[in-house]
């Protein structure tokens, strides 16, 4: 990584403000449904505690839109954070200001403090300089370990770097290192699986992968647009008609640049968009009116497996179908097992895809399951992430070190 990391600084007895991504899903009773992001941040927190740092954690949760929303208070996460890091965690309803500064100043080496939701303040998302300065007053050093928020130019990801020496945490370093294996120096052959509903959401990612990836599998609703662009029947399937010319251009560019672009061979269609819809497997491109494509069929999965079998690196973002409906989740589930069994470096990104992997109990079989969704895609697009750009370069020094 071309940025300074927490390993490059002396944190002993220093107050370290760590931007974590604890934006975890909660149920109606505010119980955590998936603690992946908390567990992913644990190595950095442990690293700092083991070196007698005084740790101040800050995060957002949900979209309170600059207002205090009780159901989105980080107090509901405190006990789980404490369990994961095996240490006491103090929570404060303060985020900035004299009381927060007093509590942070009184921390002993190894103590951990969790601040209230950053997004209770509209100044956070506005990257307000004064708000960033108040955050900076809580600590001596800033560590960004929130990859999932690194594509946002907010006060806690970008503005803060004007007030404290800013470095990457262990999770952020790991995320970037794995993604660089795709974007910068992939071990070839490189395979990419891009699914999801809309081609417009993934177009920049697709274009950046053309020429880099030897095999690109197109799945999910976005595959319907490609099929229709070839003049094939897709019935009532989700299609972006304004992207048909773009899809044709991508297919032509893939051929020119030597990337094999794979579309479904067979599909599972439903007679309505419903979990209990009637389903049938049919040849791709032969879906009649009144039916809509909802999943990839078994012949498609077999073809994807054959094409990916020789790849040394495989990245996957986006399900192959309407995976939230069990009847139409078989293609995505089969692909999960297939990719988990490849003799390759396997990287998964995006909330839906990561959820598929965890639901199958196969997360441990993948080399990396990213904590980022938007940040993951933007990095694959070749874009610079503001939260990473704000950190000190590896060669940079700070007068206080």
Q: Taking the C-alpha atoms of 195, 198, 200 and 203 in order, what is their torsion angle to the nearest 10 degrees?
A: 10
Report the domain count for the chain. 2
**Residues 343 and 309 sit within 8 Å (Cβ to Cβ):** no
Element holding 369 (H helix, E strand): strand 368-369
Q: Can you give the pLDDT at residue 200? A: 87
Please list the residues that pair with 296 across neighbouring strands.
267
The CATH number of whichever domain residue 35 belongs to comes to 3.40.50.1260
**One-letter-per-residue 3-state SS of 97-162:** CHHHHHHHHCCCCCCEEECCCHHHCHHHHCCCHHHHHHHHCCCCEEEECCHHHCCCCCCCCCHHHH
What is the spatial distance between Cα 373 and Cα 350, in angstroms, rounded to a whole number?
Answer: 4
Q: Can you give the pLDDT at residue 399? A: 44
CA-closest candidate to residue 220, choices 244, 241, 202, 246 = 202
- Do 299 and 275 share a structural domain? yes
φ and ψ of 32, to 5 deg:
-75, 130
Domain boundary among 173, 205, 225: 173
Q: Taking the C-alpha atoms of 102, 103, 105 and 110 in order, what is their torsion angle to the nearest 10 degrees?
A: 180
Which residues carry out catalysis?
A: 37, 198, 351, 374
Q: Can you give the pLDDT at residue 401? A: 45
CA-closest candidate to residue 138, choices 14, 12, 17 = 17
Q: Can you give the pLDDT at residue 181? A: 87
- Do 310 and 211 share a structural domain? yes
CA-closest candidate to residue 5, choices 149, 180, 169, 179 = 169
- 34 domain-assigned: yes
- Please state, for a pLDDT cut of 70, what percent of the chain lies above it: 99
- Do 65 and 142 share a structural domain? yes
Residue 49, Ramachandran bin (φ over 0: left; ψ between -120 and 50: alpha; else beta): alpha
- 299 domain-assigned: yes
pTM, two decimals, is 0.91
Domain hosting residue 308, numbered range: 186-360
Q: Can you give the pLDDT at residue 185? A: 84
- Do 131 and 276 share a structural domain? no
pLDDT digits (tens, 9 = 90+) for 276-292: 999 999 999 999 999 99
List, for the chain, all residue ranges whose pLDDT scores fall below the cut of 70: 396-401
Say how many C-beta atoms besides its own lie within 10 A of residue 69's C-beta.
15
Q: Can you give the pLDDT at residue 396? A: 59
- Do 206 and 93 share a structural domain? no
């Amino acid at each position: 990584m071309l940025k300074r990391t927490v390993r490059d600084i002396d944190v002993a007895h220093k107050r370290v403000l760590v931007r974590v991504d604890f934006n975890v899903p909660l149920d109606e009773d505010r119980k955590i449904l998936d603690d992946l992001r908390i567990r992913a941040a644990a190595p950095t927190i442990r690293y700092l505690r083991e070196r007698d740092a005084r740790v101040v954690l800050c995060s957002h949760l949900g979209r309170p839109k600059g207002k205090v929303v009780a159901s989105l208070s980080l107090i509901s996460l405190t006990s789980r954070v404490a369990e994961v890091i095996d240490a006491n965690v103090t929570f404060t309803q303060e985020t900035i200001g004299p009381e927060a500064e007093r509590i942070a100043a009184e921390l002993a080496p190894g103590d951990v403090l969790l601040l209230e939701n950053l997004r209770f303040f509209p100044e956070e998302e506005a990257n307000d300089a004064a708000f960033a300065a108040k955050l900076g007053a809580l600590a001596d050093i800033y560590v960004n370990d929130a990859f999932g928020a690194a594509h946002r130019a907010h006060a806690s990801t970008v503005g803060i770097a004007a007030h404290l020496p800013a470095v990457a945490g262990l999770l952020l370093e790991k995320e970037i290192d794995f993604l660089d294996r795709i974007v910068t120096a992939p071990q070839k052959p490189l395979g990419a699986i891009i699914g999801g509903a809309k081609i417009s959401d993934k177009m920049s990612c697709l274009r950046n992968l053309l020429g880099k990836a030897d095999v690109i599998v197109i799945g999910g609703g976005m595959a319907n647009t490609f099929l229709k662009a070839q003049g094939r029947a897709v019935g009532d399937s989700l299609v972006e008609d304004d992207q048909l010319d773009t899809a044709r251009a991508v297919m032509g560019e893939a051929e020119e640049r030597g990337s094999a672009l794979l579309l479904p061979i067979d599909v599972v269609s439903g007679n309505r968009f419903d979990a209990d819809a009637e389903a049938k497997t049919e040849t791709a491109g032969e879906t009649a009116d009144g039916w809509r494509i909802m999943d990839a069929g078994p012949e498609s999965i077999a073809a994807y497996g054959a094409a990916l079998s020789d790849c040394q690196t495989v990245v996957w973002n986006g399900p192959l179908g309407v995976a939230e409906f069990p009847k139409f989740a078989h293609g995505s589930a089969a692909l999960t097992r297939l990719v988990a069994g490849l003799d390759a470096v396997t990287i998964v990104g995006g909330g839906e895809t990561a959820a598929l992997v965890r639901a199958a109990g196969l997360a441990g079989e993948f080399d990396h399951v990213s904590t980022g969704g938007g940040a993951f895609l933007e990095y694959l697009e070749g874009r610079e992430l503001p939260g990473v750009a704000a950190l000190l370069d590896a060669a940079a020094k700070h007068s206080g070190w």
